[in-house]
A and B are shown apart, each in its own frame.
Chain A
Amino acid sequence: MNSGNKIFEKELLIKSKTDNLAVIRDFIKSAADESGFSEDTIGKIILAVDEACTNIIKHAYKYSPEGNIIIKIKFNDPKFSISITDEGSHFDPNIVPEPDLCEYYKQKRVGGLGMFLIKKLMDEVNYSTLSGNKNQVILVKYLPN
């Protein structure tokens, strides 16, 4: 049954600490639940947001726990959109190569998998730079008919 133009917005402002990843996952889970996604898809959205926030904590804020992460969810059936904004160092997602696991294995490299996962898990991923030196990534998942 179609829920009929369900619309809502939610926002979470949180500090850049890895122990907040669990809080972020709970926040995403409750919103995705409310939107009517399957358990499987909810798991994918949660992981994508976890990976994006982990990248911000590690690379944009370099593990400084005082950085702000702003997560805004907009659901306008069928589009579930999560914007994640930070004020840390800018990074260019285009220079991160697609990981090759065999190469990783040889080099004992352990990073770079997060962005690849995000792309695989979400329908749309869009990185941008906002005024005031802010970085933003918008992740989108569409609710199936």
Chain B
Amino acid sequence: MAEFNVNLRGVGSVSVIDVKGYLDAHTAPELENIFNKLLDERQFKVVVNFDELKYISSAGLGVFMAYVETMRENKGDIKFSNMKENVYNIFDLLGFPILYEFYKEEKEAVYKFGDQR
């Protein structure tokens, strides 16, 4: 029922995941599949672009928590960009800004990986 779409594209050495629609307990496995694919391909630098995400529940937030440390252990990270205020507020309520980097624009987030080379 819930409409959710996830798309993966490469920007240089960074993998950008576009998430769209409603990310809940029903749709979170689709996002997990993308992260598993990235791990299989040993792609650890990830930017998630939230521009078209309308809704997130803790099931969606849990996906990022499940994968971020593996990315960091391999000199990568999961960075967030283009988040709408209502979605950011949920991340904020759970204290995510302490542990994750949030950027207004995707290109800033991608650029930050360049700094870490």
Interface residues of A (CB under 8 A from B): 18-23, 25, 40, 43, 46-47, 50-51, 54, 57-58, 99, 101-102, 104-105, 108-111, 113-114, 116-117, 120-121
Tell me whether B57 and A105 are in contact (CB under 8 A).
no
Tell me whether B90 and A101 are in contact (CB under 8 A).
no
Q: Across the two chains, which residue of chain A brings its CB closest to B64?
A: A110
Greatest chain B CB density within 10 A among A21, A99, A104, A120 is at: A21
Interface residues of B (CB under 8 A from A): 1-3, 22, 24-26, 55, 57-59, 61-63, 65-66, 68-69, 86, 90, 93-96, 98-99
Main secondary structure of the interface of B (DSSP, over half): helix
Tell me whether A113 and B26 are in contact (CB under 8 A).
no
Tell me whether A110 and B22 are in contact (CB under 8 A).
no
Main secondary structure of the interface of A (DSSP, over half): helix
8 Å CB contact of A51 from B1, B55, B57, B99: B57
8 Å CB contact of B2 from A19, A47, A58, A99: A19
8 Å CB contact of A108 from B1, B57, B69, B95: B69
- Chosen A-B contacts, 24 in total, with CB atoms closer than 8 Å, are A19-B2, A19-B26, A20-B1, A21-B57, A22-B22, A22-B24, A23-B1, A25-B22, A25-B55, A47-B90, A50-B25, A51-B57, A51-B58, A54-B24, A54-B25, A54-B57, A105-B65, A108-B65, A108-B66, A108-B69, A109-B65, A110-B63, A113-B61, A113-B62
Chain B residues whose CB sits within 8 angstroms of the CB of A54 once the complex forms: 24-25, 57-59
